[in-house]
Amino acid sequence: MTTSSSVSLLGGRAWRAMLAIALTLLLSACGFHLRGSNGSFMLPFATMYIGLPDTSPLAIGLKRYIRAIGSTEVVNTKDGADAVLEVLSDPERNRTKTILSLNKNGRVQEYQLGYSINFRVLDKAGNQLLAPTTISLVRPITFDESQVLAKETEEAALYRDMRNDLVQQIMRRLAAIKPVLPAMSVAPVAPVTPVAPAAPQQ
């Protein structure tokens, strides 16, 4: 092999390595959390019921994500569902906004936004597959009295970001559940790389 062809081969390998790193960073930035060698979330049950109102932004995000996977069916009633996600504390009712810091004039300079959920997972026989689990997220946001509308828009975007993060974290916990046979049907092994859920409309 000539010197020029060796340099070309080395350059090609370096380029492919840089491309792989860039793609990994891009996926992480878009909200992907890879699981396993093929980057797929596999839920260990064939059917699932989400115990949130149909209009709940979090429920919409979870259902969209699970349906994108394709191996688990989201059902409308918990009767006969292999897994029931029972929400013990609705995050939409537990959103918080607390003062984080004040400026030298004693006015609010920064808030802390909070978003949390407490849930558990049961099988069709009422056995607990996942003990009550709490996920809490916080985001800081600066405040400027001269930019109230812009800050309201930023606040809504941060809540959407936390909601999407919550969907990802819930999915990881669901995927880690060990199936209990014969109390539940096992989802067919046909992993599909999930799609990051779209941000629900406020």
d(CA 133, CA 41): 19
pLDDT of residue 195: 53
Neighbours of 46 (CB within 10 A): 18
How much of the chain exceeds pLDDT 90, in percent?
Answer: 52
pLDDT of residue 138: 95
Please answer whether residues 90 and 56 qualify as being in contact, where contact means their C-beta atoms are separated by less than 8 angstroms. yes
pLDDT of residue 122: 95
pLDDT of residue 200: 54
Please answer whether residues 163 and 95 qualify as being in contact, where contact means their C-beta atoms are separated by less than 8 angstroms. no
pLDDT of residue 35: 44
Residues of the chain with pLDDT under 70: 1-41, 179-202
pLDDT of residue 198: 57
Residues 6+ apart with CB under 8 A from 134: 89, 116, 117, 118
121-140: pLDDT as tens digits: 999 999 999 999 999 999 99
Please answer whether residues 188 and 71 qualify as being in contact, where contact means their C-beta atoms are separated by less than 8 angstroms. yes
pLDDT of residue 90: 87
d(CA 91, CA 77): 21
> Helix, strand, coil shares of the chain as percentages rounded to 5?
35, 25, 40
Q: Does residue 135 sit in helix, strand or coil?
A: strand
Neighbours of 181 (CB within 10 A): 7
pLDDT of residue 85: 96
pLDDT of residue 180: 61
